[in-house]
Structure 1
Amino acid sequence: MVHVSIHSGLLCSNAAVVRSFGLAPKYEWFDTPEPSGKNEVLVDVLAAGLHPRVRSQADGSHYTRPRALPLIPGIDGVGRMANGQLVYFVAPDTSLGTFAEKAVVDLRRSVPLPETVDPVRIAAAMNPAMSSWVALRRRVDFQPGQKILVLGATGNAGQMAVQIAKLLRASQVIGAGRDSDRLKALLALGADEIVSLADEPERVAKRLGEAASEVDIVLDYLWGQPAERAMLAILTQRSDRSRKLSWVQIGSIAGPTAAVPSVALRAANFHVLGSGQGSVSTANYVAELPALVDAIAADKLQVNAVPFPLSEVETVWHALSDIKERVVFVPTQ
């Protein structure tokens, strides 16, 4: 519901608002954003996902973070335009995000959706799926038939990566992670082999080396010490070290830095690169949206989503450690 603010005379609507980077967002009235360019429109937000990228945006730790407060978190969402058209959109790079009843959409960063799609599924899946989809289609020269290791495959994005690697016709997908239940579930999502990371570091490295020595691409959602140990373990057991291995750094759950052994770069055809905002242009991200939307809408990817009213944002924020699914906030119009 949109209100008129008694204090400012401006249109106001409900939103999740961060006023301090150390505190959870609070549900409150906030001035409704106004379109400012010829490609911008105001939409009713139907669903917006709480991705790890959003959490780091809200606590001020993300490398692309806007420092201005107050901040409405949320980097993407599903909205309805004034003409009734559903759209998936990536939010403009401002402090006014998608955890609100109303959001500004730059039409150049959006894609139309069929009326039959579930907004919650789209909002939950697009961001975690985009990380591996874009990495394989825009950052490396992936070819059908190649082999892929997903390091950190038991997180939401890692689970998506396993499915996407198979969808794009990898010949072998190896999933590695700590959560035993989720690790076993990867087999039903398309993983050909699974490797547990829940053990002594030396044993884990040995298992990874044995299982993944012949992969062509590593999609790394962990970084930190697990990546350090895995690099040499995989490379030293590789049958042909001159065959290219591309290590794509996507997430840093295990730590923001990793020491890449110099011998790994000299003694093998080893390429380390990242995939994310900056390394991939906005235009290239947007170019991949339609195909990914089609895959999700066609139920080619399993989506684990749980919706919550946006009004419960503060309570949900404090309970995130107990929620395994991707949280999607649904504003009440």
Structure 2
Amino acid sequence: MDNGEIMVGSNLDENVLDEVRKLYQSVYDRTPEPSTENEVLVDVLAAGLHPRVRSQANGSHYTSTDELPLIPGIDGVGRLSNGQLVYFVAFDTSLGTFAEKTVIDLRRSVPLPEGVDPVHIAAAMNPAMSSWVAFHRRIVFQPGQKVLVLGATGNSGQMAVQIAKLLGASQVIGAGRDQERLDALTALGADTIVSLAGESEAAAKRLGEAAAEVDIVIDYLWGKPTELAMISMLMQRADRSRALSWIQIGSVAGPTAAVPSAALRSANFQVLGCGQGSVSTAGYIAEFPALIDAIASGQLTVNAAPFPLAKVEEVWHAPTDSAQRVVFVPTI
């Protein structure tokens, strides 16, 4: 990559910017070296620009250390010295995956099948992992259960719709604001779509009417839409003693949501999260092979948009399509 401007604001003094660029470049130009027996140097073939990467870089993610300079990137596809391709999750350090080479811990990686597309894997694994792990590690999912995906029009939401159907959900409901993307969900497995556009209370009412009987909610929104949806759905639920698991994964609509105390007392209703900490690193890694197989076999569709690594600054600041997943590659 040409310089480190993706990590600094354009309103800073130019002299300060120059010093930051030099510091960043000094880190980027230095080839990292393995320091333990489990570490190896890999050639990075593809690394995704996930929302998690952006929050890592701006310091807003709950795992951020604020350590600078920072090479962004949390996962990727790499080539080992013997030619084997692996999918890996990076260390929780400032040396990320937006580089030509990086050091990985083999215990945080899995081999990829022969002939797999590195860009496809790098684009799909992170957005798919959120709901895949939720279904496998946070609840006991039973085929035939009904699933609502809140925020289904983004990349992760689209994956959640597909994964729910792949795992045997009898009904998958996708909810979001963008009508064009909502309409496209039916081809991905959604049985019902609900628009959240317009006035919030009216949207919540529509959601309650359509999704009151679901067993599981995969929530990428949180905030006010979740507050209103919880009330609307529980009020219209025919049997409140039937279990409803609400899994909080993202917070696109706000970092906080007021959960009414009556909701927890008057219904068999649990709210739980899925992310780093609620699931161990070992738990995530254990799910990699099966998810990779689902992606490699074409059972899950992702819209990947590859760009040369040299254009990272330009792409980072450009408007993005949330239905696409940007992937940086060494060359195109």
- Asked if Structure 1 and Structure 2 have the same fold, meaning a TM-score greater than 0.5 normalized by the shorter chain, the answer is yes
What is the DSSP-based 3-state SS (H/G/I as helix, E as strand, rest coil) of the residue aligned with 1:320? coil
Task: Give yes or no for contact 2:6–2:316 (8 Å, CA) kept in 1.
Answer: no
User: Which whole-Å deviations, capped at 9, do the CAs of 1:89-119 have from their partners, x for residues lacking one?
Assistant: 0001111010000011111111101230010
Corresponding residue for 2:266? 267
Question: Shift of the alpha carbon at 1:320?
Answer: 3.1
Q: Is residue 103 from structure 1 mapped to residue 102 from structure 2 by the alignment?
A: yes
Change (3 A) 1:300 1:272: same
Task: Give yes or no for contact 1:76–1:123 (8 Å, CA) kept in 2.
Answer: yes
Unaligned runs of 5+ in 1: 1-13
Corresponding residue for 1:146? 145
**Which residue identity is paired with 1:82?**
S
**Which residue identity is paired with 1:128?**
P
Q: Is residue 78 from structure 1 mapped to residue 77 from structure 2 by the alignment?
A: yes
Change (3 A) 1:46 1:15: farther
Q: Provide the rounded CA distance (Å) in 1 between the counterparts of 2:298 and 2:133.
A: 19
Q: Is residue 62 from structure 1 mapped to residue 61 from structure 2 by the alignment?
A: yes
Q: Provide the rounded CA distance (Å) in 2 between the counterparts of 1:16 and 1:66.
A: 22
Q: Provide the rounded CA distance (Å) in 1 between the counterparts of 2:121 and 2:7.
A: 29
Q: Provide the rounded CA distance (Å) in 1 between the counterparts of 2:220 and 2:143.
A: 22
Change (3 A) 1:322 1:157: closer
Corresponding residue for 1:10? none
Change (3 A) 1:52 1:222: same
Change (3 A) 1:281 1:18: farther
Q: Provide the rounded CA distance (Å) in 2 between the counterparts of 1:16 and 1:187.
A: 42
Corresponding residue for 2:131? 132
Corresponding residue for 1:3? none
Alignment of 1:1-333 (within 5 A): 17=4, 20=7, 22=9, 28=25, 29-321=28-320, 324-332=323-331
Structure with greater helix percent = 2
RMSD, matched Cα: 1.9
User: Which whole-Å deviations, capped at 9, do the CAs of 1:243-293 have from their partners, x for residues lacking one?
Assistant: 110000000000000000111011111100000000000000000000000
TM-score by length of 2: 0.93
Unaligned runs of 5+ in 2: 11-16
User: Which whole-Å deviations, capped at 9, do the CAs of 1:161-220 have from their partners, x for residues lacking one?
Assistant: 000000011110000000111000000000000000002112111111110000000000
The alignment-based identity, stated in percent, is 75
**Which residue identity is paired with 1:123?**
A
Q: Provide the rounded CA distance (Å) in 1 between the counterparts of 2:179 and 2:255.
A: 24
Question: Shift of the alpha carbon at 1:15?
Answer: 7.6
Q: Provide the rounded CA distance (Å) in 1 between the counterparts of 2:91 and 2:149.
A: 30
Task: Give yes or no for contact 1:43–1:79 (8 Å, CA) kept in 2.
Answer: yes
Q: Provide the rounded CA distance (Å) in 2 between the counterparts of 1:16 and 1:216.
A: 48
Moved more, 249-258 or 22-31: 22-31
Corresponding residue for 2:14? none
TM-score by length of 1: 0.92
Change (3 A) 1:116 1:215: same
Question: Shift of the alpha carbon at 1:20?
Answer: 4.4
Q: Provide the rounded CA distance (Å) in 1 between the counterparts of 2:314 and 2:9.
A: 15
What is the DSSP-based 3-state SS (H/G/I as helix, E as strand, rest coil) of the residue aligned with 2:290? helix
Question: Shift of the alpha carbon at 1:17?
Answer: 4.1
Count of equivalent residues:
320
Deviant stretches of 4+, over 6 Å: 23-27
Question: Shift of the alpha carbon at 1:19?
Answer: 7.8
Change (3 A) 1:245 1:261: same
Corresponding residue for 1:8? none
What is the DSSP-based 3-state SS (H/G/I as helix, E as strand, rest coil) of the residue aligned with 1:302? coil
What is the DSSP-based 3-state SS (H/G/I as helix, E as strand, rest coil) of the residue aligned with 2:301? coil
What is the DSSP-based 3-state SS (H/G/I as helix, E as strand, rest coil) of the residue aligned with 1:258? coil
Q: Provide the rounded CA distance (Å) in 2 between the counterparts of 1:18 and 1:296.
A: 34
